[in-house]
Amino acid sequence: MTTRTATAIACANIALVKYWGKRDRALNLPAAGSLSLTLAALTTETTVRFDAELETDVLELDGAAADHARATAMLDLVRARAHLALRASVTSRNNFPTASGLASSASGFAALALAATRAAGIALAPRELSVLARKGSGSAARSVFGGFVRMHAGDRDEAAYASPLTSALEHDVRMVIAIVGGGAPKSHGSRDAMEHCAATSPLYAGWLAAVPGDLHAAEAALASADLARLGEVAEANALAMHAAAIASRPAIIYWQPTTLALLAEVRALRGAGTPAWATMDAGPHVKVLTDASHAEAISRALAAVPGVTRTSISAAGSAAHVAT
Ligand code: PMV
């Protein structure tokens, strides 16, 4: 019996300058660059086993059988590259709620790309792995790397990859995550939502026009270790993305009343001198950028907001790696 197995671990990432829109659907090329922080506290562990006994790919996600269409699409790319015909069993486990706007597709496809290539006997350079992960999910290209990461838009397949950014902020930065409503699955997956937004929102063009300036400002803030500047850009960028999404027809509204209460709390904290800036993705949860010395107090303040199920604090995470 022929089997080949590998296990990989990847951390999720949260964008500080968002990816929201594609230039090419088939290749999954982003319309613009993005910039993120990889998070140590949110991890996916994925095992891929190519097995001659299997007739189809199978996926087990968090202990239950799941639709394997997107995993199969990535496995097909790996099989083609490795000249391998075997079907695979994929077992994936998140240590946080799946598909709830907490970036599980980012860590999930980064871990799958790494585990699948290693199980198939090929070792890709990080940049090539990032290109491969992007085809599963745009944000997954960034989870190949640790710390602060810049995604390059690229105008062709090999040019759309992520690379790490060094910043003196990496050691001290923290993200406080406030889970709203128990981590229920999101209503509108980001893949379809961003296409719908690009096709129907009168604010999409304005969103896209804002991204280069935000990327520039965020990179400058990282280079000069200016957390306040980074936070201001991140919060403004997230609000611009959501404004474009909200203006879609029909509307895409990820926020719950608790999301707005959390935004108000973050503003109040900031008004009282606490470094805290909010960002939100394709779900109701709020993630707050801060530093190590303020994270606990912010976590307590957010946990007291009615409707918040739980909070957690994350430091910067490491690059995707093979489990030993
Ligand atoms: O990678 P996707 O297709 O799940 O899209 C990610 C979209 C956002 O999380 C909203 C923004 C981002 O850059 O991560």
Model pLDDT for residues 78-94, shown as the tens digit of each residue: 999 999 999 999 999 99
Q: Where are the domains of the chain?
A: 3-168, 173-314
- Compute, in angstroms, the gap from residue 301 CA to the centroid of ligand 1: 27
Atom of ligand 1 nearest to the CA of 139: 1
pLDDT at position 189 is 87
Sequence-separated (6 or more) residues with CB below 8 Å from residue 209: none
Bridge partners of 173?
A: 291
pLDDT at position 41 is 94
Bridge partners of 94?
A: 44
pLDDT at position 187 is 62
* Site to substitute for ligand 1 among 11, 13, 14, 18, most atoms within 8 A of C-beta: 18
- Compute, in angstroms, the gap from residue 15 CA to the centroid of ligand 1: 8
Cα–Cα distance between 180 and 162 in angstroms, integer?
Answer: 30
Task: Report the chain's C-alpha Rg in angstroms.
Answer: 19
For residues 30 and 21, is the Cβ–Cβ distance under 8 A? yes
3-168: CATH number: 3.30.230.10
Q: Atom 9 of ligand 1 has which residue's CA nearest to it?
A: 281
pLDDT at position 184 is 63
Q: Which helix (H) or strand (E) holds 59?
A: strand 58-61
Residue from 252, 247, 282 nearest 12 by CA? 282
- Compute, in angstroms, the gap from residue 98 CA to the centroid of ligand 1: 14
Domain 173-314 has CATH 3.30.70.890: yes
Cβ of 18 less than 6 Å from ligand 1: yes
Atom of ligand 1 nearest to the CA of 140: 1
Cβ of 138 less than 6 Å from ligand 1: yes
- Compute, in angstroms, the gap from residue 263 CA to the centroid of ligand 1: 20
- Compute, in angstroms, the gap from residue 116 CA to the centroid of ligand 1: 22
pLDDT at position 104 is 79
Atom of ligand 1 nearest to the CA of 151: 13
Sequence-separated (6 or more) residues with CB below 8 Å from residue 149: 13, 35, 36, 37, 38, 142, 162, 163, 164, 165
pLDDT at position 180 is 93
* Site to substitute for ligand 1 among 36, 188, 190, 246, most atoms within 8 A of C-beta: 190
Cα separation of the two ends of the chain: 24
Helical segments of the chain, H only: 69-82, 104-119, 126-136, 140-143, 190-200, 204-223, 227-246, 257-271, 295-303
Cβ of 282 less than 6 Å from ligand 1: yes
173-314 and 3-168 share a CATH fold: no
Residue 140: C-alpha distances to residues 53, 203, 243, 267, 299 (Å): 30, 26, 24, 30, 27
- Compute, in angstroms, the gap from residue 18 CA to the centroid of ligand 1: 7
pLDDT at position 96 is 78
CA dihedral 141, 177, 39, 237 (to 10 degrees): 50
* 211-214 LR contacts (CB < 8 Å, sep 24+): 211/17, 211/32, 211/33, 211/34, 211/237, 212/32, 212/33, 214/17, 214/240
pLDDT at position 57 is 98
Joined tokens for residue 320: 């995707």
* Averaged pLDDT in 10-residue chunks for the chain of 324 residues: 88 98 94 98 97 97 94 98 97 79 85 98 97 97 98 95 98 96 71 96 98 98 98 98 98 96 98 98 95 98 96 97 92
Atom of ligand 1 nearest to the CA of 137: 1
Q: Which helix (H) or strand (E) holds 322?
A: strand 321-322
- Compute, in angstroms, the gap from residue 2 CA to the centroid of ligand 1: 37
pLDDT at position 324 is 76
Cα–Cα distance between 65 and 86 in angstroms, integer?
Answer: 20
- Compute, in angstroms, the gap from residue 55 CA to the centroid of ligand 1: 32
**CA neighbours closer than 13 Å in the CB half-sphere of residue 323:** 18
Sequence-separated (6 or more) residues with CB below 8 Å from residue 200: 248, 249
For residues 152 and 163, is the Cβ–Cβ distance under 8 A? yes
- 222-254 CB burial, b ≥16 within 10 A, e <16: beeebbeebbbbbbbbbebbbebbebbeeebeb
